Every structure is written in C-alpha cells, then in structure tokens.
C-alpha cells in the first residue's frame, strides 16, 4: 500500500482504537466503539485491497465520479461508505482529509457530552484525568456539568457556560474565537504568565488533535 502513513495517522487521532476483525481480515479503526475506517486485507498475503471510510452521500458520489479508485463501500452501506484502492491515484492529502471527515462524522453521531467523554477532554481542552484535583476535590468538568469547585458558587465555569450551554458546541475547538477573552479571564491566578501561555497552547493543541 502506498499510504504507509495511514496507521499512525489514524492512531494519532484522539480516542481512536484499532482491532482486527478476524472473520473478515479487516483492520478496523474505531471512535467511541464505532468503526470509522477499515483496511481490508487479502487472505493469503495480508496485503491491503481497500481502505473504507464514511462520507456524506453527496461528497461520496462526487468523489466516485472524479476518481476511478474510489468506489461504493465494499461490503458496507453503499450510500454512506466508500472504498479506496490502496495503490491508486487518490492523493495523500485528499485521503487524509477524507479520513478526518469520516472520523468527525462518526464522532459527531454521539451526544456532545459523550463526545467530550470519548475524547477525554473538557470543553476547554483540559485532560481532567491528568489533573491533581481529579478524583478528590473534583469529578472533572464533564461529570459536574462545568460546576467545578473554582467556578462562581453554584454556577458553571464561564468557558463551559459559553461553549456547552450557550453555543452548544462539543468544545471550544469548534469556535473561531479560540482562545478567546473568556479563556484569558479564567486564568488560574497561581500560574505565571509564561506558564499560563504554555497551558493555553497545550489546551489548544489538545482540542485540535
């Protein structure tokens, strides 16, 4: 297969798991337990013969008409799924874009709260399970619906208020204002400016990964 980057590319996406469906000889990539991509392997050689992914039907249709190496999903729903020949003429950048879209489509099929849980990220890009308060002073932002102990009494943290409750986003990654003034105004006073900037950068990277 010419796309030798594919396995690493998919496993680097947040929340992705992989298995081998032995009865079909397919390597499957899942998000939240649902498949979003597969590499179908030949029985004798284990060589890939199709890469399968999900697209919006109109986009799948269009691409099938443009590339002979993109066909209706092999052994899948042919409206929603597409199979790509692994040694054909589909450009690498296009395939990466299609894999991203498939991942987003499947992830987006869960509730927003579930999406944050699958990604193990709060709406502001914090990995609560890595926080020293997690499990003792705090159950994490998703669990307590933003009413973290450092938020104003009885209220959700302003970032949660804005992204989840008001804008109804999965998280701030879906907002053009990231990182916004609310992020700046919720700086932990114990952090130096330098440490805060690093923290913002890390959270933005988490959200964009």
Q: Report the residue from 10, 16, 70, 141 that binds ligand SF4 according to the rule CB under 6 A.
A: 141
Is the Cβ–Cβ distance between 63 and 55 less than 8 Å? yes
Q: Which is nearer to ligand SF4, 91 or 189 (CB)?
A: 189
C-beta closer to ligand SF4: residue 16 or 162: 162
The number of beta carbons lying within 10 Å of the beta carbon of residue 183 is 21
Distance of alpha carbon 110 from alpha carbon 199, whole angstroms: 28
Q: How far apart are the first and last CA of the chain?
A: 25
Query: Which C-beta is closer to ligand SF4: that of 76 or that of 175?
Result: 175
Say whether residue 140 binds ligand SF4 (CB under 6 A): yes
Check residue 151 for interaction with ligand SF4 (CB under 6 A): no
Of 35, 99, 119, 148, the one binding ligand SF4 (CB under 6 A) is: 148
Burial class of residue 23 (count of CB atoms within 10 Å of its CB; 0-12, 13-18, 19+) = exposed
Comparing CA positions, the residue from 139, 112, 136, 140 lying closest to residue 126 is 140
Interacting residues with ligand SF4 between 95 and 124 (CB under 6 A)? 122
Alpha helix positions (H), the chain: 6-11, 57-66, 92-107, 112-119, 158-160, 181-185, 193-208
User: Which range of residues in 16-24, 80-88, 126-134, 201-209 is near ligand SF4 by CB under 6 A?
Assistant: 126-134
Pick the piece of the chain touching ligand SF4 (CB under 6 A) from 3-11, 15-23, 74-82, 174-182. 174-182
Residue 178 in the binding site for ligand SF4 (CB under 6 A)? yes
Residues forming contacts to ligand SF4 in the complex (CB under 6 A) are 122, 126, 128, 131, 133-134, 138, 140-141, 148, 159, 162-163, 167, 169, 172, 175, 177-178, 180, 182-183
């Amino acid at each position: 297969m010419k796309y030798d980057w594919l396995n690493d590319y998919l496993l680097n996406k947040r929340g992705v798991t992989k298995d081998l469906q032995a009865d079909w000889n397919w390597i499957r990539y899942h998000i939240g337990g649902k498949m979003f991509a597969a590499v179908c392997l030949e029985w004798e050689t284990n060589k890939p013969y199709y890469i399968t992914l999900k697209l919006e039907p109109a986009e799948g249709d269009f691409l099938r008409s443009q590339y002979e190496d993109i066909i209706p999903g092999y052994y899948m729903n042919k409206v929603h799924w597409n199979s790509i020949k692994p040694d054909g003429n589909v450009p690498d950048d296009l395939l990466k874009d299609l894999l991203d879209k498939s991942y987003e489509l499947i992830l987006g099929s869960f509730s927003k709260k579930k999406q944050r849980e699958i990604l193990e990220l709060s709406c502001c890009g914090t990995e609560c399970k890595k926080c020293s308060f997690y499990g003792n002073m705090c159950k994490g932002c998703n669990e307590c619906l933003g009413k973290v102990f450092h938020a104003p009494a009885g209220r959700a943290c302003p970032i949660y208020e804005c992204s989840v409750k008001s804008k109804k986003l999965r998280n701030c990654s879906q907002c053009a204002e990231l990182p916004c003034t609310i992020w700046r105004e919720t700086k932990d006073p114990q952090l130096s400016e330098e440490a805060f900037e690093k923290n913002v950068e890390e959270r933005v990277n988490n959200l964009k990964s």
